[in-house]
Each structure stands twice: as structure tokens, then as C-alpha cells.
Amino acid sequence: MKRKIGFIGIGIMGTPMIRNLMKAGYELVIYNHNENNKLKELVTDGAEQAFSPKEVAQKTNVIITMVPDSPQVYEVLLEKNGVIEGAREGSIVIDMSSISPMVTKKIALKLLESGIRMMDAPVSGGDIGAVKGTLAIMVGGKQGDFDECIDIFKAMGSSVTLVGENGAGQITKLANNMIVAINIAAMSEALVFATKAGVDPEKVYKAIRGGSAGSSVLDSKFPKMINRDFNPGFKVNLHIKDLKNAIESGHEVGSTLPLTTDVMEIMQCLRVDGLELDDHTSIVKFYEKLSNIKMEKKDTN
């Protein structure tokens, strides 16, 4: 029998990650700050519901967190009825949220005072990668802890890399999301330009995807844009959060991030327009608004 795992945070990403752990044969004890249909479905399918992060930690020795931002991670791990109150010495916390590297380091040190080990292991691949179990997982922590949990990681991702000590995983994820945001902005700008010039954006996409402008971002995001599918895989407000953490971390270490700052302002414009809960591919709408044109499928009839 494989070890029992605790999982805190049942949303777009957490739900399929839990399902993949269950498919791999792990028992799951799960908690969410409010009850939702996803939680109820997981319990029906065999997961055990806990009613506080403390209870999750009491019933498991590996606790995964997947919540929105630094304050939520701090709350479920360190505040009243948090993991720190229930975890046994030697337990491992794996925070797979995307949060501030500085906060990660502070939380890891606080947990260590109680004998609780921690790894930060944010992911890339979005909801599709979470469902397919093909996430890229970037881990900060000790080699021994990483080796102990490698099978757990592999149940959720196809690429798992230990990149350094606590906080290094979060730095890597911020770098990843900076590249993704800038890439989406660049492809939006270019394809709206092509549309405004009267060239079919789908043909432009097909022409450039195999060349040096091609990328996994282009291949995964263009279909959503051209089909006007802005249902969230990764919400604008969450990408704003990540870029905020990146800019603050850049200031902390003395690294200048001019392109990241520009894309942050584009996303802030989307938020002002009420699009903060849409997918981050709605960056294209910013360029469409500026150019007074909509990028969509050409009528072939």
C-alpha cells in the first residue's frame, strides 16, 4: 500500500492532480476552505475529507498545498488549525502553489523549527497538463526530500527537476511565467497586426509555427484565441499575481524586468475592463482594442 497523502486546495489545478495521485494508487485526505462540487465528487470517488489543514496533517505525513497565493499558503500552513499544529516531526510539506520566493523561504524556516520539512514545487502546464499528468514541476528543497517524493511528483508530472534549495522552485516558476506572459503578448501583437493588414491569422500561424517563431505557447494559446475561447485555464488575475511576485523579487535581487513590467500593465488594463477572471490569452483583446479589429476565424463559405 502506498503512503497516504494530504492535499489542500481543490480547484482548476488541484482537482486533476488529486485524481492522478489516486490513479497512481495513493490514498488521499483532502481539504478545501469551502465545500464545492469538486470536493464532493472526489470524496464520492474515494478521497477522505478533512475539515481543517491541521486534520490533514494529523492523518498524513506528506501534505501538498495548491492554493492561490502567499497569504493562503501562510494561512493553511502556519496559522490557527494549520498544518504546523497537526504535523508530526519529519513530515514533508510540498507547496505546489505559485507564490513569493521570499515568503517560501520564511515558511520553510518556520516549519523546520517544528521539525517539518518543506519543498516548493510550483508547476507549469496549466489545467490541460494537470489533467493529463504532464505538468512540468520545478522543485526547491533538499536532495533527500526530493528523492523520497519523486514517485509522488511523477504521478502528476512528466518533467520533474530539482533546481536548488527552498525558494529556487518559485524563482524558476516566476521565470517560466514571465516568458509565457511575454510570449502571449508578442504573439497577440503580431497576429493582430497580421489581421489588421488583411492576412488570415490562421494561415500566418500555420506558416510560422514550424520556424524560429514557433513555441509551445504559440501552439497551445493560438487555438484558444482564434476560437474566442477565453474560459480560464490560467486566469488573468493569477498571472497578475505571478508577475507582481516576479517584479518584487527582481527588485529584491537587483534584476531589472522591463518587458515583464510592460506585460503587467497590459494585464492591469484587462483587469480594469473586467476580464480578470478570463484566461490569460485575453491579452489579445488588449491589442484588438488598440487596433480596432477582432482576430477570428475567416468565413470559408
Q: Which of 173, 221, 235, 241 is catalytic?
A: 173
What are 29-40's pLDDT values in tens digits?
Answer: 999 998 889 999
CB contact set of 35 (below 8 Å; sequence gap of 6+): none
**Is pLDDT at 199 greater than 70 in this prediction?**
yes
Whether domain 4-165 has CATH 3.40.50.720: yes
What mean pLDDT do residues 259-283 have? 98
Torsion angle of C-alpha atoms 76, 77, 83, 88, degrees rounded to 10: 170
What is the assigned CATH class of domain 172-291? mainly alpha
Grid coordinates in use for 130?
A: 494537470
pLDDT of 35 reads 85
pLDDT of 301 reads 53
What are 127-165's pLDDT values in tens digits?
Answer: 889 999 999 999 999 999 999 999 999 999 999 999 999
pLDDT of 274 reads 98
Residue 173 annotated to the active site: yes
pLDDT of 299 reads 73
pLDDT of 1 reads 52
Q: Let me know: does 81 contact 52? Beta carbons within 8 Å.
A: yes
Read off the pLDDT band of 294 (50, 70, 90): very high
Higher confidence at residue 50 or residue 127? Answer: 50
Mean per-residue pLDDT of the chain: 96
What are 209-264's pLDDT values in tens digits?
Answer: 999 999 999 999 999 999 999 999 889 999 999 999 999 999 999 999 999 999 99
What are 55-97's pLDDT values in tens digits?
Answer: 999 999 999 999 999 999 999 999 999 999 999 999 999 999 9
Q: What residue ranges of the chain are covered by domains with CATH 3.40.50.720?
A: 4-165
Q: What residue ranges of the chain are covered by domains with CATH 1.10.1040.10?
A: 172-291
pLDDT of 129 reads 93
pLDDT of 300 reads 60
Distance CA 165, CA 113 (A): 17
